[in-house]
Structure 1
Amino acid sequence: MGFATTLLIAVGLGADAFAVSISGGATVREDRGRWALIIGALFGGFQAGMPVLGWLGGISLASLIGAYDHWIAFILLALIGGKMIREAVRGDGENVQFAAGSVITLLLLAVATSIDALVVGVTFALLDTSILMPAVTIGLVTFALSAAGVLIGSSLGRVFGRKVEVFGGVILIAIGLEILIDHLFF
């Protein structure tokens, strides 16, 4: 598999992480650079690790995860997005922020945005393709997209306030729905 193809796969896989990073970045008020690095590393790390796990699991893992990956991603993104909207509308504080969010929330976001990468890894195994360069490429691209997303979201959040947090929650739910619809009907 050529580098151009691998790069396109990496951008496709990183798109969800980018959108989630924009949503979460809208809640970041201080230490924007620090949070961009943290989220970029977390999301990029999961995006790099999941294809390796998929590659190692091969065909047996594809049949197990492939049947449920869209539901897992949808439920995680819908729950987090719904909580983000509720907190923004009620003004209950900022529990879904990257900066104030729990480690569990951040891990759930990283997992939800990287489940498809697991199946991509299985595909690489089926194609008898080495996984090292694709995993590194996917991780680096996702790191860059996620870090940029946090910075973009933070800038938007400063201008539009809580409205961006509501919009961010809607984006998370929409991403989950898109994943679910794509897997169920296409």
Structure 2
Amino acid sequence: MGLMELFFIAVGLAMDAFAVSICKGLSAGQAKPKYVLCVGLYFGGFQALMPAIGYFIGSHFRGAIESVDHWIAFILLAVIGGNMIRESRQEEECMDARFDFREMTALAVATSIDALAVGVTFAFLDVQIGPAVLFIGCITFVISAVGLKIGTVFGTKYKNKAECFGGVVLILIGLKILLEHLGVF
């Protein structure tokens, strides 16, 4: 997997955190440095942690399902992307601007569950997990920080579009993996 593919996966995965960060910014009213650091560390940290966990889980089952791994990668990415597109079409209210440990942990876990499945996919694709999760975490940190700032300025105008974009990106990457394995590309 190349750097450009990994970048697009990282951006796609970060869209849930971006959407929540926009809501946090809308509720907070201002992007104080401590808020920016808080959302960046929570969302970036969990987006890095979850694929690592998924990778180690996937590594244990790799031998048993290696002949269908490309289909698993495609299905997982398509389902995750499809869910993101579906969720982007739903209206939801932004939460209050609380940045406490309990709420931020819950939000970080909720926005990074899809990254766990991507980590399983990474195990099947022989991705170097250390650099990959560091890259995903850094991209998510930046995107979440930007989302908080956007939320303070623009509100929820771009939240659904960002989530839909992330879903489309993940589906396209899953399709590319499948087509490459089938010899189309």
Matching residue of 1:4: 4
1:25-174 equivalence runs, <5 A = 25-30=25-30, 32-58=32-58, 84=94, 96-98=95-97, 100-156=98-154
Once the two structures are superposed, what CA deviation does each residue of 1:146-183 show, in whole Å capped at 9, x if it has no partner?
A: 000111111235xxxxxx6xx89x95xxx6xx98xx99
Aligned residue pair count: 149
Once the two structures are superposed, what CA deviation does each residue of 1:101-158 show, in whole Å capped at 9, x if it has no partner?
A: 542221111111111110111111112222011101110110000000111111235x
* Distance (whole Å) between structure 2 residues aligned to residue 128 and residue 57 of structure 1: 13
Is the 1:32–1:151 contact (alpha carbons within 8 Å) kept by the matching residues of 2?
A: no
- Which secondary structure state, in structure 2, belongs to the residue aligned with residue 113 of structure 1? helix
Name stretches of at least 5 consecutive residues in structure 2 with no aligned partner: 62-71, 172-185
- Which secondary structure state, in structure 1, belongs to the residue aligned with residue 51 of structure 2? helix
* Distance (whole Å) between structure 2 residues aligned to residue 128 and residue 31 of structure 1: 39
Is the 2:38–2:99 contact (alpha carbons within 8 Å) kept by the matching residues of 1?
A: no
Letter in 2 for 1:39: V
Is the 2:22–2:150 contact (alpha carbons within 8 Å) kept by the matching residues of 1?
A: yes
Q: Once superposed, which parts of structure 1, at least 4 consecutive aligned residues long, lie more than 6 Å away? A: none
Shift of 1:32: 2.0
* Distance (whole Å) between structure 2 residues aligned to residue 8 and residue 142 of structure 1: 11
**What percent of counterpart residues are identical?**
39
Is the 1:55–1:122 contact (alpha carbons within 8 Å) kept by the matching residues of 2?
A: yes
* Distance (whole Å) between structure 2 residues aligned to residue 140 and residue 43 of structure 1: 10
Matching residue of 1:13: 13
* Distance (whole Å) between structure 2 residues aligned to residue 83 and residue 101 of structure 1: 17
* Distance (whole Å) between structure 2 residues aligned to residue 83 and residue 109 of structure 1: 14
Is the 2:43–2:141 contact (alpha carbons within 8 Å) kept by the matching residues of 1?
A: yes
Q: TM-score, normalised by structure 1?
A: 0.64
Letter in 1 for 2:130: L
Is the 1:33–1:151 contact (alpha carbons within 8 Å) kept by the matching residues of 2?
A: no
> Kindly tell me: are residues 30 and 9 of structure 1, through their superposed partners in 2, closer, same or farther at Cα, counting changes over 3 Å?
closer
Name stretches of at least 5 consecutive residues in structure 1 with no aligned partner: 85-95, 158-163
Once the two structures are superposed, what CA deviation does each residue of 1:46-76 show, in whole Å capped at 9, x if it has no partner?
A: 000000000011165xx9xx7xx97xx99xx
* Distance (whole Å) between structure 2 residues aligned to residue 110 and residue 26 of structure 1: 18
- Which secondary structure state, in structure 2, belongs to the residue aligned with residue 97 of structure 1? coil
* Distance (whole Å) between structure 2 residues aligned to residue 19 and residue 83 of structure 1: 11
